[in-house]
Amino acid sequence: MTSLLAVPAAPGFADPVGDAQRAFRGLLDAIAHPGRIVSLDARVAAPAPLVPAAAAALLTLVDFETPLWLDAAAAAGDAPAWLRFHCGAPIVADPSPARFALVSDAAAMPRLDAFAPGEDAFPDRSATIIVQVGDLHAGDGWRLAGPGIETTCRLAVDGLPDWFADALRANRALYPCGVDLFLAAGDRIAALPRTTLVEG
């Protein structure tokens, strides 16, 4: 059995309090304004293949009470030990019981219905999925509408599978159930909660 003390872990946030607060404010801004690209402005050292925005989101949101699923690319490296050390999160092999999930290879990600959508009586018992993508661009791509968007906004995302937009529309149809998503590219993040209507 390996002791936690024997696991070498890279540092987390450079400034644990200040960076966590900045990341939390950025995540709140993103989820309150779906499709808005937000810089988390948090200095974080994380092992490959985690990008800074995804790592900051996990450090901010995940703890010992939130089962975490990692895709094969993330599970194969140092990320599991790093996340256990910094978050204490139980890492699960199956996505269905996960409250949070990290997809580091979007092209090979499972369909959204592999993750917990919650229940009618407890829609909050759903998964939040952090998907690492190639890039995020405002003003082009999907047309988004719904709560938190004054009229519409546009968001283009590089690196997602072809079925993703259709899956987002099916996810919205499950409301009040359904998963919530963050898309992470470098140190930037955008949110697509279950209430967001995706066209195009």
pLDDT tens-digit series, residues 148-178: 999 999 999 999 999 999 999 999 999 999 9
In a domain, 64, yes or no: yes
- Give me the pLDDT at residue 9, please: 62
Per-residue pLDDT tens over the stretch 108-135: 999 999 999 999 999 999 999 999 999 9
Domain that holds residue 134: 13-199
pTM, 2 dp? 0.94
Q: Residue 4: is its pLDDT beyond 60?
A: no
How distant, in Å, are the alpha carbons of 35, 80, 86 from that of 10?
31, 12, 9
Instruction: Give percent above pLDDT 90 in the chain.
Output: 86
Domains contained in the chain, number: 1
- Give me the pLDDT at residue 5, please: 46
How distant, in Å, are the alpha carbons of 113, 123, 168, 200 from that of 178?
9, 8, 9, 20
In a domain, 166, yes or no: yes
Domain containing residue 119: CATH number? 3.40.50.11310
Kind of pairing, strands 128-132 and 100-103?
parallel
In a domain, 8, yes or no: no
